[in-house]
Structure 1
Amino acid sequence: MIIYVDADACAVKKETVQIARKYNIEVVMVASICHITKEDGYSRYLIVDSGDQSVDMTIVNRVNKNDVVITDDYGLASMVLMKRAFCISSRGLIYNLENIDRLMMQRYIGQQIRKGGGRVKGPSKHGKEDDLHFIQGLDKLIYEAQYNPFE
């Protein structure tokens, strides 16, 4: 199992590494050249070009069944699920085949409203409660991936 992180705007890199160390799981941070950050001493870093969807496509092309991906991008989450990998948001939302269609539809409706000149409220600022939900969710997801993997 490998944990892939959509690292361009990820608010839970430190928490991800903390949990990965606990389970001795490899972490791969994938970021565009525009978002290079200081390495954490544990993760492997893949730096890709700054083209649209470069990070997403790098993750999709590398992820394998029963790996874990951390992203807030519903489109990437949808592709990851189709590869039978596990996926979680930085707020601890575990993406699955039961909720991804609704999330994708919400994204589409928001795009249509913005395209028509309207405004859509974005997510609230990431806080400590979100970090706790993420840590609990990632723990649960790793357990699920190890003891109830995709066949």
Structure 2
Amino acid sequence: MPSSSPKILVDADACPVKEEARRVAERVGLVIVFVSNGGIRPSRDPMVLVVIVPSGADAADDWIVEHAAPGDIVLTADIPLASRAIDKGCHVLGFTGRPFTPASIGMALAMRGLKQHLRETGAIAGHNPGFRPADRSAFLGALDTLARKAKSLAGK
């Protein structure tokens, strides 16, 4: 694999689409790195790496940001991590297939802050909508398109 090929970095602790991400990485020919506090089995596939970080707030996020390179793909539902990855020049995709971009991340951060404030004041309940089959399907399509695009851009 050329060193210029992007890799897929997965914020894996609460990721509901690990298997889908692995299949897309395999199909497109990209290395995928699952970063977690534990609970993920190692793989014998040299294109599938598992990194176990120490327990602690943001340990996986910090590892991902430290090891990400421009053009890599970061998969996460964590908006602050998405922002940090965008700042490094990464492509960022949420687990529902929603892309985080330089144009959209500011609003995503603002909405996160507003919802946190509303939860703290009791104005809204503290839960997110459940993950649906349609989210899985949207994620698969979006990651496949993004992975092919990132690989193509890296080859230029």
**Alignment match, 1:37:** 40
How far apart, CA to CA, are the structure 2 residues paired with 1:97 and 1:28? 23
Identity among equivalent pairs (%):
27
- Asked whether 1:88 is paired with 2:97, we answer no
Output aligned runs, 1:58-137, within 5 Å. Answer: 58-120=63-125, 122-137=127-142
Report the residue type matching 1:55 in the other structure: A
**Alignment match, 2:23:** 18
Q: Is the 8 A contact 1:110 1:120 kept in 2?
A: no
Q: Which structure 1 residue ranges, 4+ long, deviate > 6 Å from structure 2?
A: none
**Alignment match, 2:33:** 28
Moved more, 136-145 or 62-71: 136-145
Moved more, 113-122 or 45-54: 113-122
Q: Is the 8 A contact 1:2 1:28 kept in 2?
A: yes
Q: CA RMSD in A?
A: 1.7
**Alignment match, 2:3:** none
Deviation, 1:144, is: 2.4
Which residue, 4, 9, 25 being the options, matches 1:4?
A: 9
How far apart, CA to CA, are the structure 1 residues paired with 2:58 and 2:126? 23
Give SS of 1:87's match.
strand
The alignment's TM-score, normalised by the length of structure 1, stands at 0.91
How far apart, CA to CA, are the structure 1 residues paired with 2:130 and 2:36? 21
Moved more, 135-144 or 11-20: 135-144
How far apart, CA to CA, are the structure 2 residues paired with 1:51 and 1:65? 26
How many residues were matched structurally?
148
How far apart, CA to CA, are the structure 2 residues paired with 1:46 and 1:121? 30
Deviation, 1:116, is: 1.8
Report the residue type matching 2:37 in the other structure: S
Q: Give CA-to-partner distance per residue, 1:67-94, whole Å, 9 cap, x none.
A: 0010000100000001001110110001
The alignment's TM-score, normalised by the length of structure 2, stands at 0.88
> Could you list the runs of 5+ residues in structure 1 that have no partner in the other structure?
none
